[in-house]
Structure 1
């Protein structure tokens, strides 16, 4: 099935949706205030944090360490297989869908409400040494959160340092020169999808993305077709349709406001685009999801 036309429910996933009373009845430990939430030893399936076949609009930035188990997700247009030892860094307003999940999945989750420097999603397996270092930083932050009153000016800079450390680990892992043609093309394709996720609301043309990647539009089209079996415009349209669906489902916005937010020239242009891709008008889609 064409993923653009799948009519799956979209839920807004924010810290306000988490039942901390329910968490208190599990083996999870948690800290929560208006700046930061930390959940240790969370089992997302047991706490009903996530359900399969639902697309989530993740409101706040998240930092997640996988302690046990494995999970398959679609995260910001990328299918990911994640298991023990993986690290996830998600910017605010990420889009996520849970595909499969092992019963023993256990994670540490930071929900970050402050504006930290998280501008792209990162998912990667950390080395055992790096993962242990991140756990040590986690437990240091946890210990500091137990102090009353909350030491915001101490805790939040350490959280930012942990985020920066994760970003450095990722860059160092990917610093080796890519020489194999197929691997280089896959890397280009992944970079293209990250750019689409970042800029799709403003730019919906192939030359823009080719310029950002320092390649020709023709080469971008060829690489994308080879790597995914789909065209460049398929991925751009998929991203903007997903953003539109999120806004139609989870934001208290009029359709003309959504058209403006997504940089369409007029509400009618947005109406025609949405109907051409999904087979439904924006209004009809809204009604179907109620």
Structure 2
């Protein structure tokens, strides 16, 4: 492997040869079918939102280099900008995975980035245990989605699946809204829009751009205003967000890509390996070489 893999739903389906009745906007995976867990043995990004529900057995995933255990009745939510790897699943693992494009999310009028407290919580804590009855209810949703997706004779299969997926995701949001978020701040609409726009731009450009000014210009605000806004809304400055994305990318490439330190520096648009080394050590307390050898 010589880089971080980025997959669309269409590429994922083609790679695993998975026929689920979905299309480029939705993919439904059930573990009692020939699920190709090996595909996620190495870190990758999916250009989609992933909602996974474990119904039996156990597993472990790493999201943004943080391990999370997946036990029965656990729901895991993964965003497109995240780097995910499946470390292991038990032989008796059972579950459902619903993979949804951002296009379908917009059509369903569902955008978690508009709910900043939910989005921030899931970024830091993507896995949550559910009440068993709630988990069974979501499982019935998944079974129905899969059944309708595989009904090749249905004239309105796409419309039915899209509607059911939207209902499933809204039901998940119902449960996520019940989580004990430590955020009682009221965020005005314009702030929500700017936060969402910043995260989307950061996801696209963090490998090439580390300047707050670059993102502020794209968003038509001043760097000072954007930094203070991000600090107020999320508790972290714009520069801290940028550094987090860059360091996460650097750590993943150093650990798993097979690239040399110089190649990683080039991949992340650092002018020299020395500059990259100083930046990395400033934010992690160790050199790229030390981290790579861990």
1:106-165 CA deviation, whole Å, 9 max, x = no partner?
Answer: 221112235213444442111111111111222222233215335333321321221121
60, 69, 72: which one aligns with 1:84: 72
Measure the CA separation in 2 of the matches of 1:66 and 1:39.
12
Q: Aligned ranges for residues 1-290 of structure 1 at < 5 Å?
A: 10-15=4-9, 16-18=11-13, 30-42=20-32, 48-51=38-41, 54-115=42-103, 116=105, 117-119=111-113, 120=119, 121=122, 122-145=126-149, 146=151, 147-174=153-180, 201=206, 210-213=231-234, 237-243=243-249, 268=271, 272-273=275-276, 276-277=279-280
Q: Whose strand fraction is larger, Structure 1's or Structure 2's?
A: 1
Measure the CA separation in 2 of the matches of 1:14 and 1:68.
28
Measure the CA separation in 2 of the matches of 1:214 and 1:157.
36
Q: Structure 1: any 5+ residue segments left out of the alignment?
A: 1-6, 25-29, 179-195, 218-231, 250-254, 260-266, 286-290
- In structure 2, the CA distance between the partners of 1:10 and 1:93, relative to structure 1 (3 Å rule), is same
Q: Structure 2: any 5+ residue segments left out of the alignment?
A: 106-110, 114-118, 185-197, 213-225, 258-264, 282-286
Aligned residue pairs total 224
- In structure 2, the CA distance between the partners of 1:176 and 1:92, relative to structure 1 (3 Å rule), is closer
1:144-200 CA deviation, whole Å, 9 max, x = no partner?
Answer: 32153353333213212211211220221326999xxxxxxxxxxxxxxxxx98868
Equivalent position of 2:219 in the other structure:
none
- In structure 2, the CA distance between the partners of 1:9 and 1:69, relative to structure 1 (3 Å rule), is farther
TM-score by length of 2: 0.57
Measure the CA separation in 2 of the matches of 1:85 and 1:242.
29
Measure the CA separation in 1 of the matches of 2:92 and 2:83.
24
RMSD of the alignment, in Å?
4.6
